[in-house]
């Protein structure tokens, strides 16, 4: 089902349904939730999804798993083509799918299954090929490896506000002392509270926010030199080294899938 609203098929008597949609550059889906869990796949383009728990960036050939009932907003970094799979909560539990949001790698097999799934009828035959495609699709989602493409958001209101600002304009030049001052905290209290709320040091979180922003900008074709300097790195090589250290490969290779 292409360019269809997911909620139009909530009552379809199938545990798994799929839709495909195309979005223009910088389109924003306001905060919403689904009765079913969702696998949101960036077939082309880069998208960012934000919940109360954190921010996730989804480059091409990666996907975000969103459990049922989680309110999320979606920002398209450029023109984006998505493929989404919606799974009932009962089927999600039976398939042992993740209970929390996470970005997963999309294997060539899962990619092809997603392309096929969006063209199936809403009430496909459960005991035929179409039913087997959907069953195999759930197996592939379950076995897909999780990827470190998120920045958790703290619940403490002052820290959450600062982090949302940094996600909008991330920079390696954002200093702990300045952030602590803005939060009305001592440096010690800020660093301890930040780690307790996010599970990360502020320095690690800041770098993660910068790398996630870089993925979106590089995915839109911006030159690496400009992206690196805008994010506060001393040189493109310093940025590439940080990117490789966290994500395991150079930016061009990572975005190439």
Q: What is the DSSP string of 99-147?
A: SS-EEEE--HHHHHHHHHHTTS-TT--TTSHHHHHHHHHHHHHHHSPEE
Tell me, yes or no, whether 139 and 157 share the same domain.
no
Per-residue tokens: 186: 């001592």
> Which of 152, 173, 176 has its CA nearest to residue 164?
152
Tell me what pLDDT residue 219 has. Answer: 86
Tell me, yes or no, whether 44 and 131 share the same domain.
yes
Tell me what pLDDT residue 44 has. Answer: 87
Tell me, yes or no, whether 116 and 166 share the same domain.
no
Residue 10 has pLDDT above 80, yes or no: no
Domain boundary among 126, 147, 168: 147
Tally of structural domains, the chain: 2
Cα three-residue angle 60-63-68, rounded to 5 degrees: 150
Structural domain that includes position 215:
153-255
Which CATH number belongs to the domain containing residue 210 in this structure? 1.10.10.60
Residue 8 has pLDDT above 70, yes or no: no
Residue 4 has pLDDT above 70, yes or no: no
- List, for residues 46-64, the tens digit of each pLDDT value: 999 999 999 999 988 899 9
Confidence category of residue 257, pLDDT binned at 50, 70, 90: low
Tell me, yes or no, whether 136 and 180 share the same domain.
no
Residues 105-110 have a mean pLDDT of 94
CA–CA separation, 139 vs 96, rounded Å?
9
Percent of the chain predicted with pLDDT > 90? 81
CA–CA separation, 33 vs 74, rounded Å?
11
Tell me what pLDDT residue 65 has. Answer: 97
- List, for residues 12-21, the tens digit of each pLDDT value: 899 999 999 9
Q: 206 CB contacts (<8 Å, ≥6 apart)?
A: 166, 170, 171, 172, 174
More confident call, 202 vs 6: 202
CA–CA separation, 240 vs 228, rounded Å?
8
Tell me, yes or no, whether 71 and 172 share the same domain.
no
């Amino acid at each position: 089902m292409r360019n269809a609203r997911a909620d139009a098929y909530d009552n379809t008597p199938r545990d798994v349904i799929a839709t495909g949609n195309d979005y223009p550059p910088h389109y924003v889906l306001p905060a919403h939730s689904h009765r079913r869990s969702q696998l949101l796949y960036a077939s082309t383009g880069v998208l960012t999804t934000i919940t109360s728990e954190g921010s996730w960036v989804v480059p091409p050939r990666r996907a975000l798993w969103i459990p049922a009932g989680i309110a999320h907003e979606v920002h398209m970094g450029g023109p984006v083509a998505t493929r989404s799979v919606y799974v009932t909560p009962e089927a999600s539990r039976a398939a042992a799918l993740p209970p929390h949001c996470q970005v997963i790698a999309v294997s060539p097999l899962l990619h092809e299954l997603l392309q096929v799934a969006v063209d199936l009828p809403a009430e496909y035959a459960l005991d035929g090929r179409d039913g087997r495609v959907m069953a195999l699709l759930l197996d592939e989602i379950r076995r897909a490896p999780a990827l470190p493409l998120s920045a958790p958001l703290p619940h403490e209101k002052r820290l959450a506000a600062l982090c949302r600002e940094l996600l909008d304009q991330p920079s390696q030049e954002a200093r702990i002392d300045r952030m602590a001052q803005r939060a009305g905290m001592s440096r010690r209290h800020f660093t301890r509270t930040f780690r307790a709320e996010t599970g990360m040091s502020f320095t690690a979180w800041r770098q993660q926010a910068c790398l996630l922003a870089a993925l979106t900008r590089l995915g839109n074709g911006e030159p690496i030199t400009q992206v690196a300097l805008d994010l506060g790195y001393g040189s493109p090589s310093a940025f590439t080294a940080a990117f490789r250290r966290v994500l395991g490969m150079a930016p061009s290779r990572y975005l190439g899938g």
